[in-house]
């Protein structure tokens, strides 16, 4: 049955010139990164606190050690590699078919695959900054500063404690002193709003797209999921392992993994 749907998807892509891809956690599960809500996903894993509480702004402020222990061990995956979905989307962009990728993921795998136009709605673990002076830090630097684990796909050991990463740049007001501000991931936590520039860019691209491909997302995380309402083009394609509440809106629905589907698409 999916064979005919793949042919239909191929035809839609061939006839499109302004495709936007809107993706969620399911895009990266094939790279070994667990999603948030499926069986075995991040929210089902055992921890001292519920994961949705740990990745909230108030928890970051009040319990930074526990936050960074979870963050470095469960959210940073530096050894993860782009899968077939990431690579195909980068090919489509290079061929001039794909306008941009709008992603809810924070792993940076689209850029690692070669995509240039990526709107990261929830930020990226690859960027971290000092809240006091604005100095930038890589994910590698954060892991070393915390000293409590590494990439989640390496299955690091559980460490009881974790160092809080403090900025080691010189203080902007007194260069004889170290800044010592707490470094924060450039990730949108619960209780925080989305970046207006990112949202506006994503909305603009979705609004001018002739085809919107939605993949690997359950479309339950708002306000991000609501962005598909700005699409007024010809084709909505939904590719997800399970049903979503937007299935009835789509021209084409494929219940399968996004990587398995996209790897069968040819770039004409």
Confidence of residue 171 (pLDDT cuts 50, 70, 90): confident
Task: For residues 112 and 218, state if they share a domain.
Answer: yes
Task: For residues 118 and 212, state if they share a domain.
Answer: yes
The percent of the chain in helix, strand and coil, each rounded to the nearest 5, is 35, 20, 45
Residue 122 is among the residues annotated as catalytic for this protein: yes
User: How far is C-alpha 80 from the geometric centre of its chain's CA atoms?
Assistant: 13
- pLDDT tens per residue across span 3-15: 799 999 999 999 9
pLDDT of residue 157: 45
Confidence of residue 34 (pLDDT cuts 50, 70, 90): confident
Which of 135, 156, 187 terminates a domain? The answer is 187
Q: Where are the beta strands (DSSP E) in the chain?
A: 19-23, 98-103, 118-120, 123-130, 136-137, 183-187, 211-215, 235-239, 252-254
Separation of alpha carbons 19 and 194, rounded Å: 23
Task: State which residues form the domain around 154.
Answer: 36-76+125-187
Task: For residues 178 and 61, state if they share a domain.
Answer: yes
Task: For residues 66 and 86, state if they share a domain.
Answer: no
Query: Is residue 93's pLDDT more than 80?
Result: yes
Query: Is residue 257's pLDDT more than 50?
Result: yes
Task: For residues 179 and 132, state if they share a domain.
Answer: yes
> Domain tally for the chain?
2
Task: For residues 177 and 131, state if they share a domain.
Answer: yes
Task: For residues 256 and 201, state if they share a domain.
Answer: yes
Task: For residues 116 and 28, state if they share a domain.
Answer: yes
Task: For residues 240 and 172, state if they share a domain.
Answer: no
What mean pLDDT is predicted for residues 24-34? Answer: 91
Catalytic residue among 122, 197, 232, 255: 122
pLDDT of residue 38: 55
The mean predicted confidence, pLDDT, of the chain is 89
Which of 164, 187, 210 terminates a domain? The answer is 187
Q: 6: Cβ–Cβ under 8 A, 6 or more apart, which residues? A: 254, 261, 264, 265
- pLDDT tens per residue across span 109-149: 999 999 999 999 999 999 999 999 999 999 999 999 998 76
């Amino acid at each position: 049955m999916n064979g005919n749907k793949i042919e239909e998807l191929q035809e839609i892509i061939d006839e499109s010139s302004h495709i936007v891809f809107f993706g969620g956690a399911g895009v990266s599960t094939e790279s070994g990164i667990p999603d948030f809500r499926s069986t075995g996903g991040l929210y089902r894993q055992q921890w001292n606190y519920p994961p949705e509480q740990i990745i909230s702004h108030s928890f970051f402020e009040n319990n930074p050690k526990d936050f960074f222990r979870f963050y470095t061990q469960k959210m940073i995956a530096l050894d993860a590699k782009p899968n077939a979905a990431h690579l195909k989307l980068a090919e489509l962009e290079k061929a001039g078919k794909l306008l941009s990728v709008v992603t809810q993921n924070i792993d940076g795998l689209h850029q690692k695959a070669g995509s240039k136009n990526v709107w990261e709605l929830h930020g990226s673990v690859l960027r971290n900054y000092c809240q006091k002076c604005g100095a930038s830090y890589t994910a590698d630097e954060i892991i070393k500063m915390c000293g409590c684990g590494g990439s989640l796909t390496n299955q690091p050991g559980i460490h009881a404690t974790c160092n809080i990463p403090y900025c080691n740049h010189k203080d902007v007001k007194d260069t004889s002193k170290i800044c010592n501000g707490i470094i924060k991931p450039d990730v949108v936590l619960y209780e925080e709003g989305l970046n207006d520039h990112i949202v506006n860019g994503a909305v603009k691209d979705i609004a001018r797209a002739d085809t919107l491909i939605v993949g690997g997302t359950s479309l339950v995380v708002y306000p991000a999921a609501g962005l598909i309402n700005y699409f007024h083009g010809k084709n909505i394609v939904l590719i997800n392992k399970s049903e979503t509440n937007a299935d009835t809106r789509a021209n084409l629905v494929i219940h399968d993994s996004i990587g398995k589907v996209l790897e069968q698409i040819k770039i004409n």
